A and B are shown apart, each in its own frame.
Chain A
Amino acid sequence: MLILDSVDSLLEHIEVVQKDVISLSNDSLLKMSSYIEKNQLEVDEDISTALQYQDIITQQLMATIEAIESMRSSIKRFSHAFESDENLAQDSMKKLQEKLNTTLAEAKDKKNRFSGKTSENEADDEIEFF
């Protein structure tokens, strides 16, 4: 289906952009941390937190990339089923919808899990000892 090919191309583009952003962000932080270490600069809590946000950004983007890859895979399966037998389209459409809903639920769960203390409803500032 032509429209699904367009959706797939758009998702592929978003995935590529996100991977590039991760790469640039990693590179940026490593350069900054290298500068800080080389010059033996003291890092206070605010700077440390800002640097650590980069890791959280990466994890969040990776989770959405996984969701995009799952969506693309589901769309391709549907497209293939539709092309081979249009009578199966209705059933395939239902399966596609279920898969996309599952993907969305997993992606939202990962958003919460990978937020750490940046999420307003999560965790206090203390280290928990057992």
Chain B
Amino acid sequence: MPLVIFVDDSETALASTRMVTNSMPIEVKQYTEAQVALAEIKAGMIPDLIITDLNMPVMNGLEFLQALRDNPSTNRTPTLMLTTETKAELKQQGKALGLTGWIVKPFNPAQLKQAITRVLRLPA
């Protein structure tokens, strides 16, 4: 099964995404700190899709994305930003770093499911 990792400093936000992904044919790993996810990636974990929050302490979503792009095993891994932020300049920064898409919270569960299905090319 494809591996999808979620990064969000909010446990409650992660719980909300779990309710969507529980019924999907994917393996899910969740992290409350981007630097911990990054360490596991550098240690050999290869996610098929990364979904990350933007505003997080220590390492924010864009810094995490930059680190993913600097890492050979994830420099082309599809990545979605899941955030309350809607500023065009932030989206532009993400796009410049090869971000796949931008989802604004609170997300629509059906649309999040569709986005994951589309990016991973799962059967609809």
Interface residues of A (CB under 8 A from B): 26, 29-30, 33-34, 36-37, 40, 43-45, 48-49, 51-56, 58-59, 113-119, 122-123, 125-130
Contacts and interface: CB of A to CB of B under 8 A. Distances in A.
A123 B86 contact: yes
Contact of B84 (A30, A36, A116, A127): A116
A58 B86 contact: no
A59 B57 CA distance: 12
Contacts of A115: 84
Contact of A52 (B91, B94, B102, B107): B107
B87 A51 contact: no
A29 B94 CA distance: 30
B16 interface: yes
Interface residues of B, number: 36
Interface of B: 10-13, 15-16, 18-20, 22, 55, 80, 83-87, 91, 94-95, 99-112, 114-115
Contacts of B107: 48, 52, 127
A129 B106 contact: no
A114 B12 contact: no
19 contacts: A26-B12, A30-B12, A33-B18, A36-B19, A43-B19, A43-B109, A48-B106, A48-B109, A51-B12, A52-B105, A55-B105, A58-B12, A116-B85, A116-B105, A117-B106, A122-B104, A127-B112, A130-B94, A130-B101
A66 B93 CA distance: 26
